[in-house]
């Protein structure tokens, strides 16, 4: 994977950000375990339900009594095996995406494949040969080859967008109807003077040329939002015409005059053309159209307001590094009011039906943290999950350490919120 380094801290793109902190539905129909759902171990001593009382250092640590993670897929053994979900094997668990038929897709990035769990709980291989190819190869799904599949999102009505790590094409388009892949976006370099780009803003031809590396993406109202290291762009399509428009952030905003001894040089709130991000890792929208961004390099959760697109900091405040050369913001850990909470490289966001925000805090042990009612609370620690995906009241989480996919019942979390909010001390 491409590494982007700043002094002591290493920032990786997309999927790599999710892996920081690891060791160096009507939703989907879950297969029925052979043991009762309340059991914590099968005959082979396999944990099927993780609770706050589960005492296993290899498993996530749940801090809220009553909250549970249930194993949905994965034997826990590294390998390549399709079949019933609980017997399937993965070499790695990266990004998750779901289609309109409740099928779940997973990037098995170390096996260079995309796996599928259908709505009956069966695992199969959707695309990829298991062979790593630098520039990738398109065509029939089972002949498609990746260098390393990264983040993946579903776009109605029948497409998967798969980001490519490292060099070569930046975005693959997988047509689930025809079972064919093609290059959707390729990378082009960017010039440094107005109009700030050398790619074509409007095009009817695929692949589209885009300005540099894609850090994260999201689909909202059938429009694609793409984040570079400092900016967020919107890609819309109308009758075969694709149009790029900068949505928020500006690579050329220089709030500190370019001084390398001021960590704020890569951070600025304000109007869309006078704001700046530092390696956005995830984007989500609420019902009103506001966008929330995990600004990994600034250790903040940012908000882009609907309509005005004004950028502000919701929570998280990076700590300026001491010294005078190439200073950066350092992350931290603190629960409590939004104005006091600290994060360390937040990499994934998801909204619940009540519009609370769940955050994967990468460098704080991959913790799952909850933003609700003006407060930040840690729910789960020691949890090296790479991604989560929501369908109805079920949240699906990919645990790359234990090579299993869990479900978490969000209605259960909603019932526990009063207990969580009454806590006088931050969870630890």
For residue range 176-199, list pLDDT tens digits in order: 999 999 999 987 765 555 555 566
Q: In which residue are the tokens 């526990």 written?
A: 416
- 329-360 burial: b if 16+ Cβ within 10 Å, else e: bbbbbebeebeebbbbbbbbbbbbeeebbbbb
Strand segments (E) across 74-179: 83-84, 96-98, 104-108, 113-117, 122-127, 139-140, 149-155, 159-164, 171-175
Residue 44: partners with Cβ closer than 8 Å, 6 or more residues away: none
- pLDDT in the model for residue 25: 32
The predicted model gives 388-403 an average pLDDT of 96
Long-range own/partner contacts, residues 252-256 (CB < 8 A, 24 or more apart): 252/192, 252/196
Residue 280 C-alpha from the chain's centroid? 10
Burial pattern 398-424, b for ≥16 Cβ within 10 A else e, equals bbbbbbbbbbbbbeebeebbeebeeee
46: confidence class by pLDDT, cuts 50, 70, 90:
confident
* pLDDT tens digits, one per residue of 2-14: 333 333 333 345 4
**Mean pLDDT, residues 98-116 taken together:** 96
According to DSSP, the residues that pair with 81 across neighbouring strands are 89
Cα 177 versus chain centre, distance: 25
SS3 153: strand
- Residues 351 and 285: their CA atoms lie apart, in Å, by 8
Averaged pLDDT, 349-366 = 96
Compute the average pLDDT of residues 363-373: 96
Question: Which domains are seen in the chain, by residue range?
Answer: 3-421 (2.120.10.30)
Q: Tell whether the model's pLDDT for residue 113 goes beyond 70.
A: yes
The average pLDDT across 43-57 equals 84
Kindly provide the b/e burial profile for residues 209-239, where b requires at least 16 CB atoms within 10 angstroms of the residue's own CB. Answer: bbbbbbbbbbbeeeebbbbbbbbbbbbeeee
Beta-sheet pairing, 367-372 with 357-361: antiparallel
| Backbone torsions φ then ψ of 18, nearest 5 degrees | -70, -25
pLDDT at 394: 97
pLDDT band for 258, please (50, 70, 90 cuts).
Answer: confident
User: Quick one: pLDDT at residue 23?
Assistant: 38
Q: Quick one: pLDDT at residue 323? A: 86
Q: What pLDDT score was predicted for residue 422?
A: 85
CA distances from 420 to 46, 296, 336 (A): 29, 26, 11
């Amino acid at each position: 994977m491409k590494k982007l380094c700043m002094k002591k801290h290493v920032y990786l793109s997309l999927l790599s950000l999710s892996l920081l902190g690891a060791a160096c539905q009507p939703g989907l129909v879950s297969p029925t375990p052979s043991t009762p759902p309340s059991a914590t171990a099968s005959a082979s001593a396999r944990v099927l339900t993780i609770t706050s009382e589960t005492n296993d250092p290899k498993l996530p640590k749940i801090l809220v009594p009553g909250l549970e993670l249930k194993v949905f897929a994965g034997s826990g053994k590294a390998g390549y095996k399709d079949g019933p979900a609980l017997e399937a094997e993965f070499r790695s668990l990266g990004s998750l995406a779901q289609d309109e038929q409740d099928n779940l897709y997973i990037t098995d990035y170390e096996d260079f494949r995309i796996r599928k769990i259908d709505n009956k709980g069966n695992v199969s291989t959707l695309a990829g040969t298991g062979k790593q190819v630098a520039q990738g190869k398109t065509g029939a799904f089972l002949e498609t080859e990746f260098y390393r599949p990264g983040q993946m999102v579903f776009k109605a009505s029948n497409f998967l967008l798969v980001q490519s790590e490292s060099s070569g094409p930046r975005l693959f388009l997988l047509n689930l109807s025809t079972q064919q892949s093609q290059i959707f976006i390729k990378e082009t370099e960017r010039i440094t003077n107005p109009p700030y780009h050398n790619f074509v803003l409007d095009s009817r031809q695929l692949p589209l040329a885009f300005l540099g590396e894609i850090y994260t993406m999201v689909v909202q109202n059938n429009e694609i939002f793409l984040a570079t290291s400092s900016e967020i762009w919107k890609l819309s399509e109308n009758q075969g015409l694709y149009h790029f428009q900068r949505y928020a952030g500006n690579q050329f905003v220089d709030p500190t005059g370019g001084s390398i001894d001021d960590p704020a040089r890569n951070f600025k709130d304000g109007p869309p053309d006078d704001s700046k991000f530092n390696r956005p890792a995830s984007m989500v929208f609420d019902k009103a159209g506001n966008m929330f961004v995990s600004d990994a390099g600034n250790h903040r959760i940012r908000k882009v307001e609907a309509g005005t697109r004004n950028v502000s900091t919701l929570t998280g405040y990076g700590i300026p590094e001491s010294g005078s050369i190439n200073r950066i913001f350092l992350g931290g850990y603190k629960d409590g009011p939004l104005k006091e909470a600290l994060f360390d490289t937040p990499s994934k966001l998801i909204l619940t039906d009540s519009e609370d925000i769940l955050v994967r805090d990468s460098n704080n042990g991959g913790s799952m943290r909850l933003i609700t009612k003006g407060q930040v609370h840690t729910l789960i620690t020691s949890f090296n999950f790479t991604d989560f995906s929501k369908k109805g009241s079920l949240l699906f989480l990919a645990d790359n350490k234990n090579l299993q996919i869990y479900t978490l019942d969000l209605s259960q979390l909603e019932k526990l919120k009063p207990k969580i909010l009454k806590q006088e001390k931050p969870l630890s």
